[in-house]
Every structure is written in structure tokens, then in C-alpha cells.
Amino acid sequence: MAKRTAIIDIGSNSARLVIFERTSRFGFHLICEQKSKVRIGEGAYDKGGNLQSIGIERAYLALESFIQTTKKYHVNKILCVATSALRDAPNGREFVQWIQKNLQLSIKIIDGNEEAKLGAIAANNLLPIIDAITIDIGGGSSDMSLIRDGKIIETCSLNIGTVRIKELFFDHKASIEKARHYIREELKRLPQSFRYPIAVGIGGTARALSKGILRNSDYSFDKIHAFGYRLEDEIDYLTAITLSSVKGLGRFNLKQERFDTIRGGALIFLEILEQIGAKEVITSGVGVREGVFLKDLLRHNNLLFPKGVNPSIRNILDRFDNLTAKDSRATHRIKISSELYTICHKEFGLSMEYSDELNVALKLSNIGKTLTIYKSRQHAFYIAMQELNYGFSHKEMILISLLLRTFGNSLLNKSLFQAYKEILPQKESMKSLSFIYNLSILLHENANEAKISFDYCNQTLTIHSDQSLYHAKESIKMLEKPHPFAIVIEDNTKIPRYNF
């Protein structure tokens, strides 16, 4: 597969370019993102669906600019898709041929079910979900997928989109009830199988609404991907948007560029959520573009990452951990940690539910040293907070990052814990996890693949080793404990005889 792949997505509202760089077979990261509000379908719904000059010319200029960007980034492959505005337009094929002739860019017009599937491929691989219904509200259509047991079971595309509703109803100052009736009539086409309490919001409308909710709350983590909310908590906010005037939208913490379409988008979203019986919404920062990329990347893997492969972890290790990549003992610290966790969790009053996050932190523990060994844990924290995006909940992202930030003589960074307190485990659990993390690293770095085991009895943790732990002993003495107990080290320290 190409080292650098560009994806161009021509939607009814915007055209976007993203460029992904692969770091290994399953590792990748985003290196460029551009957006142009082309509104290619502007005026089309009043003109029999035909693309009009104003949208055609904006789209041409945007695509011409995107092509120049791909050349600057030395892109190896370009994949370009177009959605409802072109597939619905009687002159859409002529536009595609015109672009091919003048820009040498091949555009694939995808149908609504393919659009739904691409969004679901992205969500299924890059969000921590097993069962859900994905909802991608575009300018001309709303495309949905049913995911069960991590598999895309069914798709459905409905002819209701933000630009379509705007031009048919809001631009003509029609009543909201007429728009609602139109949406509900189209929703009758939705199969009965599309019923589930967890909805995944994909696309610009869902993200804009979630950003507004995020800004209106005291939620401390400013990351939209994997942000979730209960519908009952936010239904008044969403409903108020649908009833607002354009001028009144400023009080909802929404970007002004969304003002002309967000009311229709919120109305569509609410009607779909009600129809499927949704109780919770998870926001996806990925969608059709990532789906196009992953369909290409995973074409020989049933459109799924292999079990145990997380693209964010792979990308971080590829880019920031040259030390561990060459370290055949990389699993040693995880083995130490697993046994220590098993021995101590009851004594510490610690649930076993955090073992996966602890193991991920241990895998990533060297990433800060790539920049410099000084303040390497601060570097590791920042890298993880920025790059640990895919396949994790917000709680998992922050927990892993905060473990990377801890020092042995201070199990908890008080200011960071206070900042994310509402998302993280309880303070005592955090300190216990931090202790296990730091002790595992100390033993790994100083044990040279020693066989290490643990006992915990009578408020005493005993560490057994078949090799000397001389240097580790000094560091362990300085290690803060989550609560009072003794640490005894029984190692195999041997000093050869000498006579001088």
C-alpha cells in the first residue's frame, strides 16, 4: 500500500482533503487536512437537481487547490469520492468527466448505502463500540448502518439532509412542522431492525452539535472523538436549536459557518434518534474519508484490524519508541505488571477492570525518551493525549496518559488529577495503579529479564527474583506507596570471593 494516501470527499456542503501517512502495516496518522465550503449542490433542489454554475465553479477551484496540495506532500495515491449532491444531479456524470479531463482526477460517485458503509467501517474500527447504529447526516442524505458484534449488518440511506431541508423548507420560511412531516415520511423507509439505544453521530452536523454540548458543559477533556452524552440530558438543547431563528443561534456555542444548516440538521438528528430508540450518543471524529482509507488499508483483512492491533498504539510506537522497537524484552514489564496486579488488587481494593489500560501504558512507557530523557514522562503524557485517539474511550485515554505522567516518588499529579477528576477512577485506585505501573518499570529496567514473582501477606509485599535487584532496591525505597505496607526484596545477590 502507498506510503501517503490522499482522500478527497466531495459532499453536498463541503469538500475535504485528508492525507494519511502509513508508519507500518497497520499504523498511520493524519498529516494534512483541508476543507472548502463548496456547496456544490447550491440551488440544485429548485432546479430539478441539476448542479448550478455557482457550485460547479467553487468545486473546481477547491479540487484544483487540493491537487496542488497532494503534489506538495508527494502523495502516492489519491482516492476521491462524491456523495449525494453528485449522485442526485442529472448532470453529475458530466461534472465528473469534466474534472477528469481538466484536472486528471478520477471521482467515484458512491451510492447512499456505500456512504453509510464507509462511515460504519471507520466507526467500527476507530471507536470503542461493539453494537451501535451509525448516523451520518450529510447535506443531501442521512446514511445509517447497523453494527452488531463488531460487524456491519445492514445499511440504509434516506433522502433527508441539511442542505435539502434548508432549501426546501427553511429558505421558504415554511413551518417546522412541515419539515418534520417530510422527515418522518422518509423515516418510514427505515427498516424495523434499526432499533438500538446507542447511536454514533458521524459527520459535520453531529460533531457541531457535540461541540456545542461540550462548550456548554464543564467537561474537562476537549476532544470530540469518542465524546458521549445521554440524550435525555441534552434533548432540550437540541430541540431549542431547531426552534431558534438564525440570529438566535449565537447563544448555542455553535460555529457561525453552521448557522444556515444546523437547525435542519438538529431536526433530522432528533427525529432519527427518536425513531431508533436511542438513549446515548457517541460522537465520531471519523467518517467517510477514514472509511475510504481503511477500506483500502484493510481490504485483505475483512475490513477489520486484526485482533489485538490498535492503530493508535501502533502509530505511536512506530514514531516515538525506537527504544522498545529494538527491545526483545518489551513484554517483560507487562508480565511483571500482570502478576503484581493479580497479587495486589484485593489488598489494594482495586478492580481488575483497568488491566488493559495499565498494559497499554507499559507498552508506551518509553515514548517520551525519543525527544529527550529529561522530562520524558511529561513528553509521554503530551504525546499520548494528542495521539491516543482510536479505539479508546475518553476515560481510557486520560487514564493511560496520566499513568505515563507519574513519577515513582509521586504517584499522582495533583493538578492533572483534579482537572480530569470527573472522568478518572477514584483517587485511591489511581494511586494503586500508578504504584503498580512504576514498580513494574523499575523492576523491568533493573532486572535484566529476571524471573520475578510476588507475595502479599501481613501488610508486606515480597518481591522474589532469581537475579540481583541491587540498583532497583534504591529506587524502590523512594517509591511512594498507595497506603502503608512493607516491601521486602528477596533476590539472588552473589559477590564473588576476593582476597585483597
Q: What CATH code is carried by the domain that includes residue 42?
A: 3.30.420.40
Spatial strand order of the sheet with 107-109 comes to 28-36, 15-22, 4-10, 77-82, 107-109
Q: What CATH number corresponds to the domain at position 160?
A: 3.30.420.150
What is the C-alpha to C-alpha distance for residues 114 and 195, in angstroms, rounded to an integer?
20
Tell which of 109, 127, 158 closes a domain.
109
The answer to whether residues 339 and 279 belong to one domain is no
Does residue 89 sit within a domain? yes
In a 3-state reduction of DSSP, which class is residue 254? coil
The answer to whether residues 368 and 391 belong to one domain is yes
pLDDT of 499 above 60: yes
Does residue 234 sit within a domain? yes
The answer to whether residues 183 and 252 belong to one domain is yes
The answer to whether residues 160 and 80 belong to one domain is no
Does residue 398 sit within a domain? yes
The answer to whether residues 281 and 342 belong to one domain is no
Assign 329 a pLDDT band (cuts: 50, 70, 90).
low
Q: What is the pLDDT of residues 386-412, one digit of tens each?
A: 999 999 999 999 999 999 999 877 899
Q: What is the DSSP string of 82-123?
A: E-HHHHH-TTHHHHHHHHHHHH---EEEPPHHHHHHHHHHHH
- Pick from 135, 113, 130: which is nearest to 207 by CA? 135
Q: Which amino acid is at 391?
A: G
pLDDT computed for residue 480 by the predictor? 93
The answer to whether residues 81 and 158 belong to one domain is no
pLDDT computed for residue 319 by the predictor? 94
Helix (H) or strand (E) holding 463: strand 460-465
The answer to whether residues 101 and 126 belong to one domain is no
Assign 262 a pLDDT band (cuts: 50, 70, 90).
very high
Helix/strand/coil percent split, the chain, to 5: 50, 15, 35
Share of the chain above pLDDT 90, in %: 84
What is the C-alpha to C-alpha distance for residues 225 and 216, in angstroms, rounded to an integer?
17
What is the C-alpha to C-alpha distance for residues 265 and 427, in angstroms, rounded to an integer?
41
Q: What is the pLDDT of residues 356-395, one digit of tens each?
A: 999 999 999 999 998 888 999 999 999 999 999 999 999 9
Q: What CATH number corresponds to the domain at position 457?
A: 1.10.3210.10
Place of cell 525519543: 370
Across the range 469-483, mean pLDDT stands at 90
pLDDT computed for residue 265 by the predictor? 97
DSSP β-ladder status, 198-202 and 142-148: unpaired
pLDDT computed for residue 2 by the predictor? 82
Does residue 216 sit within a domain? yes
Angle (deg, nearest 10), helices 112-126 and 288-297: 80
Q: How distant, in Å, are the alpha carbons of 229, 285, 292, 500 from that of 128? A: 15, 13, 19, 65
The answer to whether residues 95 and 181 belong to one domain is no
Does residue 68 sit within a domain? yes
Number of domains the chain is built from = 3
pLDDT computed for residue 324 by the predictor? 57
For all residues of the chain together, what is the average pLDDT? 94
261, 13 Cβ separation under 8 angstroms = yes
Assign 328 a pLDDT band (cuts: 50, 70, 90).
low
Q: Count Cβ neighbours within 10 Å for each residue of 292-323 and write b for 16 or more, e otherwise.
A: bbbbebbeeeebebeeeebbbbbbbbbbbbee
The answer to whether residues 13 and 93 belong to one domain is yes
Task: Please compute, for residue 489, the number of CA atoms within 13 A of its CA located in the half-sphere on the CB side.
Answer: 19
In a 3-state reduction of DSSP, which class is residue 53? helix
Tell which of 60, 93, 109 closes a domain.
109
Does residue 282 sit within a domain? yes
Pick 332 or 306 by higher pLDDT. Answer: 306
90, 58 Cβ separation under 8 angstroms = no
Tell which of 46, 74, 109 closes a domain.
109
pLDDT of 327 above 60: no
The answer to whether residues 16 and 132 belong to one domain is no
Does residue 301 sit within a domain? no
399, 357 Cβ separation under 8 angstroms = yes
- List the domain range (segments joined by +) for residue 362: 311-490
The answer to whether residues 130 and 270 belong to one domain is yes
The answer to whether residues 11 and 134 belong to one domain is no
Does residue 496 sit within a domain? no
